[in-house]
Chain A
């Protein structure tokens, strides 16, 4: 690990190091935690999230699987139902669709259809999103499909410390969790991460930046984009609040509604295609819960309704400029 220790009990790490640390911590804590997926064994995963785990914990705790996502997830469901804590890695979220049936039809419905007799405590970790010039099939943000499936939790960290704390909480959760990792910021910047035990509860948003004039709602790699936009807006005299959702399901409605009641304006920022993206749900919740507080329409700054564009990634991904234009729209009303 290349992380450096700054003060006792804390290390400065990248997000990928924090994820690795979370897996190691939970594998030490709990023998039932088993990590598996394509190339996660001796290679340590294509991004290095499982680096060293095979060596440290052996073949029974961290192992490679064939290239068969459907089988990976299905086996995970069976393990979870019978007492294990599987953590499956799907190499890129773009590769998950062969497993969609197992996730939606088996994992998500296990608790409900057994009348609560069984739960399915498994985590599916997967890097998602653009920003590494990966083209169509290494860049997509398909979180909304999973949010639309009752029975799943959907977690997306935006800082190294949250990545660790949320992942440990996800592994300990009794329900299947889609743990989606914004690969664009795997190694962008470092942050302090508590060593050893560290959890962040699911369903609690984080005020990344406090402000009074407009609320930006974001998750994953869009959080730093919104923070940069908040800095730029401050120079124009606008006080911007940035809320990092952390978990899309369960959603911390209270925090976002309170923020928007306070500021009266809201821009939702996400990199998935705009239509039926998670931002649409957020806009609907705000309309239901606090429309009388809104000074203008909720604005969505999102990806475009196209397959992920290969050479045009820099135009597709919401950036500081587009977020600022979105903020302007809420003031122009």
Chain B
């Protein structure tokens, strides 16, 4: 288990990539929260504001062919992995141009081209699927790693242990990423888990526990873990401590935690780092924000003018 230090030697291009993805996720989430009460989206939404660094730092090291299996809090990791924004938005609007053709909704995002084979609304439901992808790769299906991405509450489900055990026994190219936001809906971790997640995982495989609000730390640890999994060194576990600023579901802020922007905001921390090391000017940061706003406007427009799915498919 390591608590890695942020890599202050990161290149400007890489830092910009991380910033752009995190801003895309944040601003998209904020827009969804704003639009959601108007009822244009026919789906429950689980937002990930505050948690952007985990998926972003991870996906910086994943290739399109790597398979990322998600739970119910999907928007951030899917965008980080490369899901085009307009396909996400159309899916939330329930349109046939959505990434799951309007049949999935927020919790079931699919993009085979970008290695998003699917996500499950059942907590813990897709952990074993990442193991299966790793096993498929091991048996010759291709050169990729399987990634199981889940939250702290999923570690209470039996399938979590079954999956880690099997992946470790077979030394599969699998990455387990626990996005630990400390809550199972409204239950704090102290009330839902007697076990220590890192303790359990590290019995079976190399495990790193990282400040998941520090994207450079995640980026660093994910880089090492992905490269070991890819290099035949068996499954790896990343435990990322983060904070969920919003309620479990819906557009409202969570009143169970305190957010300190200086301490907790991954975007603020990266921007501060980049500004102080001369990587970006305030003007560039503002331009990035408004460019992303325009992207979101365009994606919403695309969703709004897209048709709904064909009901006749139901009779198939």
A135, B44: Cβ atoms under 8 Å? yes
**Residue A57 at the B interface, CB < 8 A?**
no
Q: Tell me, in angstroms, the Cα distance from A39 to B248 when the chains sit together.
A: 12
A315, B311: Cβ atoms under 8 Å? yes
**Residue A48 at the B interface, CB < 8 A?**
no
Residue of A nearest to B192 (CB): A66
Which of A142-150, A255-263, A277-285, A303-311 is near enough to bind chain B? Answer: A303-311
Residue of B nearest to A316 (CB): B314
Q: Binary interface profile of B, 28-49, with partner A (CB < 8 Å = 1, else 0)? A: 0000000000000011100000
- B interface SS class: loop
**Residue A1 at the B interface, CB < 8 A?**
no
Q: Tell me, in angstroms, the Cα distance from A191 to B89 when the chains sit together.
A: 41
B158, A135: Cβ atoms under 8 Å? no
A43, B186: Cβ atoms under 8 Å? yes
Task: Enumerate chain B residues within 8 angstroms of A306, measured Cβ to Cβ.
Answer: 314, 316
**Residue B130 at the A interface, CB < 8 A?**
no
Q: Tell me, in angstroms, the Cα distance from A97 to B124 when the chains sit together.
A: 12
Query: B43, B187, B314: which contacts A309 (Cβ < 8 A)?
Result: B314
Residue of A nearest to B102 (CB): A311
- With A134-B44, A135-B107 in contact, do A67 and B192 touch (Cβ < 8 Å)? yes
- With A94-B122, A311-B102, A311-B308 in contact, do A138 and B315 touch (Cβ < 8 Å)? no
Task: Enumerate chain B residues within 8 angstroms of A136, measured Cβ to Cβ.
Answer: 105, 107-108, 121
Q: Tell me, in angstroms, the Cα distance from A42 to B256 when the chains sit together.
A: 13
**Residue B136 at the A interface, CB < 8 A?**
no
Task: Enumerate chain A residues within 8 angstroms of B120, measured Cβ to Cβ.
Answer: 137
A137, B122: Cβ atoms under 8 Å? yes
**Residue A294 at the B interface, CB < 8 A?**
no
Task: Enumerate chain B residues within 8 angstroms of A39, measured Cβ to Cβ.
Answer: 185-187
Give A135 Cβ to nearest chain B Cβ, in Å. 5
Task: Give residues 162-199 of B contacting A (CB, 8 Å).
Answer: 184-187, 191-193
Give B128 Cβ to nearest chain A Cβ, in Å. 12
- A interface SS class: loop
Task: Give residues 106-142 of B contacting A (CB, 8 Å).
Answer: 106-108, 120-124
Q: Tell me, in angstroms, the Cα distance from A140 to B217 when the chains sit together.
A: 41
B42, A98: Cβ atoms under 8 Å? no
Task: Enumerate chain A residues within 8 angstroms of B315, measured Cβ to Cβ.
Answer: 304
**Residue B234 at the A interface, CB < 8 A?**
no
B308, A304: Cβ atoms under 8 Å? no
B44, A138: Cβ atoms under 8 Å? yes
Given contacts A67-B124, A309-B103, A311-B309, 16 further A-B contacts (CB under 8 A): A38-B185, A38-B187, A39-B185, A66-B187, A67-B184, A71-B158, A134-B44, A135-B105, A136-B107, A136-B121, A137-B120, A138-B44, A306-B316, A309-B314, A310-B42, A312-B311
- Can you report 9 residue pairs joining A to B where beta carbons are below 8 Å apart? A39-B186, A39-B187, A67-B153, A68-B158, A70-B157, A97-B122, A136-B108, A310-B43, A310-B105
